[in-house]
Amino acid sequence: MSEASSIITTARHFVAWLVALFAMLAVPAGAQDIPSEARYGDENISAELLADGMPQAGEEWMLALKFNPSAPEWHGYWSNPGDAGQGMMLRLALPDGWEMGEPLYPVPDTLLISGLMNHIYEGEYAVLVPVSVPAGAAVSSVPAVSGHVEYLACTDRVCVPQDAVLTIGMGGDFARWRAEVAPLLDAKGAFELRADRLRVAIPLPESVPLSSPHLFVSNTRLVSYAAIQTFMRDGDTLVAELPLDQFGTGDASEVSGILAFGDGTGVRFKAAPGEVPEAGIKIAGPVGADVPPLWTLILGALVGGLILNIMPCVFPILSLKAISLARAGESEGAARSEGLAYTAGVVLSCVALGGIMLALRAAGEQVGWAFQLQSPAVVIALLVLATAITMNFAGVFELPSIDTGSGQGRGAFATGILAAVAATPCTGPFMAAALGAALLLPAPVALMLFAMLGLGLALPFLLIGFVPALRRMLPKPGAWMDRFRRIMAIPMGLTALALIWLTVQLGGRGFGIFALVMLFGIVLALAVVGRLQKAGKMAWPAFGLVAAPFLIFGAFALPSSYAAQAGKTKESIHQPLEFSREALAEARRSGQPVFLWFTADWCVTCKVNESIAIEREAVADAFEKAGVITMVGDWTVRDEEITMFLTEQGAAGVPLYLWYAPGEEAEQLPQVLTPDLLEAQAQAQE
């Protein structure tokens, strides 16, 4: 979903919420009259009031509100709807002395849209409503109970208020509905509020399996609903930690809600102020409690950036570095200028990318490292740039800021910017922990880690610029440099071809074709520029005249032809399942080993790992013999669920490889896989 559509979706949710709220407030508090007609109707999610048999004097009589969506895309809400939506408001006209109890809900699901967490129900569901019947009530038949309910029906794009005038009916699958309601724990839990988080201790036997726990808190404006939750076991006590809502009051005399186990079941809990255990074995949540010392993070970012220079992620830009290194041998002053300019370009770009990512996350967007390559506009811009550099290296035209001639550091600075943008899609050894921690640390410390990553990436070039002995190892400048530049057009051209392929993966075949049409116009314009330059004539005005029609065509055709390719099924010899939390929980419940990998079409490291370690017949045979369930998460296009899951695992980007042994938590495998690693993992399970 694009930023614009995200804003529109958020606005729709907010407006619908206000409409529903004002409509509900229009009914005077304490009013007992039930309207004779519905104001909005229940066209999208119908509501029906049913009774579980005849009421008995002195006993609890159970009613049910059955909600049935008219189409699969509509969903309803829990009593606390989360960041958006609205819970139901119910009024019943009961005989004198009869009292309606607190509605009982089934375990809700989570739905994250544009950074807003919704607590929802999809498909048909029922809310049970207990009614206390007085001991002396004369009951000879089902009383004529009437009522009125108001609620909200939403899709992921629109919300509409709904209401229904209710009359009592008989029937319904009360046995199933009772089983779906989260039972209330017999013992109360304890909670404590700290400066930035809520800590809840829930009495839960250690034997209860928790595949993907989530705490739904009934208290409104207490916790941040979309924030990552941490869970720890301390014997028969489960400790949950939730960040507080920074705009909420933070006050609570009691905390209640539903603990979802991750398999559609859960329990209700109530907690009073009290002592919450500090220690425990973490079973879910971010790596905040395991953040290494700062000096190790700084060293990891520096070494990780240094290693990027030899990893497949940066192979396409080695041509730029090679030419810059050759230029550094011209003079000591020029070498230092080149080294500083290149380093400035790399470091500033890494800090800028990190800062944008942190700002988007603070605004509620679920983004991770290399988010820029999930944007079709950025990929198109990189495609145009890579094509232009290829033509420049091939000698088609000359551009001082890119050319190997004297540019007073401008070329090196531009090279540094491009190096940082192109080299950061994949995380490598050492830098993974640092970038994962950067998502949890204060912004100034996080930005320092991004700067150290850039410094590591630029360090070899910087050393050559300032260490004469290293510069003397370089070949002397000469005619070979022009030949070398033309040879380096080959890897840069391959980069452009890879970006064309990525364009199709992001936006579809039509989007890719229109991008090629626009690119053809730019190539034609640059070719005209080159011919005019060789003739000694004014060249760049001609570029505007030739390229303008194609650029205008692209500005209109590309947005209209874009079709997000999310949810693609990856071709693999393993025939993996598509990642979702529910699918992962079900796979782990099977008692078989699970191998889960996260990849993206723009991640070169991911593709290398897949070719040399994952997509091998020997690995497939070993997996089949050990009964390994494979699952893949495609992060080519932004996916909020995957981003949040990566963050929970302490990863800022891809690749990420997880191995789940039966009954055990995830084991993170190295980000650079060896051919025999997965075979060994599978053989250990036999």
* pLDDT tens digits along 155-212: 988 999 999 999 999 989 999 999 999 999 999 999 999 877 899 999 999 888 887 8
Whether residue 484 is contained in a domain is answered as yes
Per-residue pLDDT, 443: 78
CATH of the domain at 202: 2.60.40
Find out whether 314 and 419 touch, Cβ atoms under 8 Å.
yes
| 247-to-87, 252, 498 alpha-carbon distances in Å | 20, 15, 45
pLDDT of residue 167: 94
Domain end point (choices 246, 267, 285): 285
Model confidence at 595: pLDDT above 70: yes
CB atoms within 10 A of CB 660: 20
Other Cβ atoms less than 10 A from the Cβ of 536: the count is: 7
Domain-located, residue 654: yes
pTM: 0.58
Total tally of structural domains belonging to the chain:
4
Residue 412 DSSP one-character state: H
- Identify whether residues 71 and 141 lie together within a single domain: yes
Q: What is the pLDDT of residue 402?
A: 43
Phi, psi (rounded to 5 degrees) for 82: 100, -145
The C-alpha atoms of residue 554 and residue 619 are separated, in whole angstroms, by: 44
- Please, what sign has the CA dihedral across residues 464, 470, 472, 474? negative
Structural contact between residues 481 and 536, judged by C-beta atoms closer than 8 angstroms: no
Q: Report the distance separating Cα 649 and Cα 579, nearest Å.
A: 15
- The reply to whether 217 and 364 lie within a common domain is no
Please indicate, yes or no, if residue 311 is contained in any of the structural domains.
Answer: yes
Mean pLDDT of the chain: 83
What are the structure tokens assigned to 104, written together? Answer: 């009982």
Lowest average pLDDT, out of 71-75, 272-276, 421-425, 513-517, goes to 421-425
Residue burial 32-57, b: 16+ Cβ < 10 Å; e: rest: eeeeeebebebebbbbbbbbbeebee
Among the candidates 180, 209, 224, a domain finishes at: 180
φ, ψ of residue 111 to 5 degrees: the values are -140, 115
| Residue 17 belongs to domain spanning | 3-180
Higher pLDDT, 168 or 263: 168
For residue 285, the model assigns a pLDDT of 60
More confident residue, 249 or 125: 125
**Residue 31 CB coordination number (10 Å):** 10
Residue 164: exposure state from Cβ atoms within 10 A (0-12, 13-18, ≥19): buried
| Separation of alpha carbons 313 and 422, rounded Å | 8
575-582 average pLDDT score? 89
Residue 282 pLDDT level (bands cut at 50, 70, 90): confident
Task: Please give the Cα distance from 633 to 279 (Å, whole number).
Answer: 32
| One domain, residues 242 and 267 | yes
Specify whether 167 is located in the same domain as 255: no
Q: Which of 647, 370, 601, 391 is nearest to 503 (CA)?
A: 601
| Averaged pLDDT for residues 545-550 | 94
Q: Are residues 318 and 304 in the same domain?
A: yes
| Domain match, 72 and 150 both | yes
- CATH number at 149 reads 2.60.40.1250
Of 28-37, 259-268, 402-411, 446-455, the poorest mean pLDDT is in 402-411
Asked if 390 contacts 493 with a C-beta cutoff of 8 angstroms, the reply is yes
253 and 305 share one domain: no
User: Among 471, 490, 509, where does a domain finish?
Assistant: 490
CA distance 374 to 636: 6
